Amino acid sequence: MGRVLVTGAAGFIGAHVSQALLARGEEVVGLDNLNPYYDPALKEARLQALTGQAAPGAFEFHRLDLADTEGVLGLMAARPDIDRVVHLGAQAGVRWSLEAPFAYTSANVTGHLSILEGVRRSEGRIGHTVYASTSSVYGSRQDGQPFRETDRAERPASLYAATKLAGEMMSKSYTDLYGLPQTGLRFFTVYGPWGRPDMAYWLFTDAMLKGQPIKLFNEGRMMRDFTYVDDIVTGILAALDHAPAAGTHRTYNIGNSRPEQLLDMVAFLEEALGVKAERVLLPMQPGDVPGTFADVSAMKRDFGWEPVTDLRTGLGRFVAWWRRYFG
C-alpha cells in the first residue's frame, strides 16, 4: 500500500484525517500553506501533535499553496508512492468570502484544479481521490426537508459555495474526460476539538469565558446539522476505502442528519462551561442560510456509515479539549 496525500493537513478536518490514517498504519504526505485566515499557531500545534504520534517516516509535511500549480504538480510527480488523495485543503468561511473573494477562487478553483491535474498526470497510479465539498452548495431552503444528493444545486448563496460547486463540476468533468475515480463529500457544519476559530461554537466559547456577549444571527433561529469531527473522519475513510470504478464520480452528503437550533447549541455550551451567555440578537447575514439538514441514506447504503455523536456529547468533548489546550 502506498501513501495518502492529504491536502489541508494542518487544518481542522485534515489534521484529524491524517491522525486517523497514521493510527491505522498508513503513511501520509501532508500539504498545507498555513495561511493566516486564522492564527497559524493553531495549525502548527496540530502538526506538532501529528508528528509527535507518527512512526518515523510515516508523516511527511510540505508547506505549499494549492494555487502554486507547478509546486503541487512537482510534488505529486516526485512522489510515485502516492496512490490515493484526500483533498481537504480549501479557503473556508462563508462570511469572509464577501470580503476576500479572490482568496476563494485561488484556493478552491485553481487549487482544486492543481490536484485534478496532478492526479491525471499520475496516469492511473493514483487510484482514488476523495475531496471535500459543502452543504452550502444547496443554497437557501425554507421547507425544512433534508438535502438529498439528487436535489438541484444551482443557486449557491455565497461565493464560497459557488467555488466549492465549481470544484464538484471540475471533478465531474475530469472523471468524464480522463476516467478518474472520484468521491465528493458534502460536509454539514463540522465541529469538535482542534476546530476552527471562525466557527460559532468556538466564538461563543471564547466570548462566554471572557464574560462577553455572543452574537446570534437571525435572532438565533438558525437550524444546523452539526456534525462531530470524528463522525466526519470515519465517513471520509469509509469512502476512501471503497473506491468507485474507473470513470465514476459520485457525491455524498456527510452530516449528523439531525438539525438543531443554534439556541440549543448555546444551551449545551452553557451547561458544559458552567457560564450563562449574554445574547445579542441580530438579523440574518448576507450569504448565510436559515437551515441545513442532511439525508445520509446513501452513505449508510454504500458504506455502512452513520453518525454516532450527539451535539451535547460533542460539545462536551470540545470544551474538555479547550480547557486542556488553553489551560
Query: Per the structure block, which three cell numbers stand in for 61?
Result: 509535511
Measure the CA–CA gap between 304 and 291, rounded to whole angstroms: 26
Neighbouring C-beta atoms of residue 289, cutoff 10 Å: 22
Contact 273, 208 (CB under 8 A): yes
First to last CA, the chain: 40
**The residue type at 142:** Q
Strand partners, 183: 130, 250
Query: Per the structure block, which three cell numbers stand in for 322?
Result: 479547550
Residue 191 annotated as catalytic: no
3-class secondary structure, 62: strand
Query: Per the structure block, which three cell numbers stand in for 9?
Result: 493537513
Residue tagged active-site, from 38, 104, 131, 160: 160
- The catalytic residues are 160
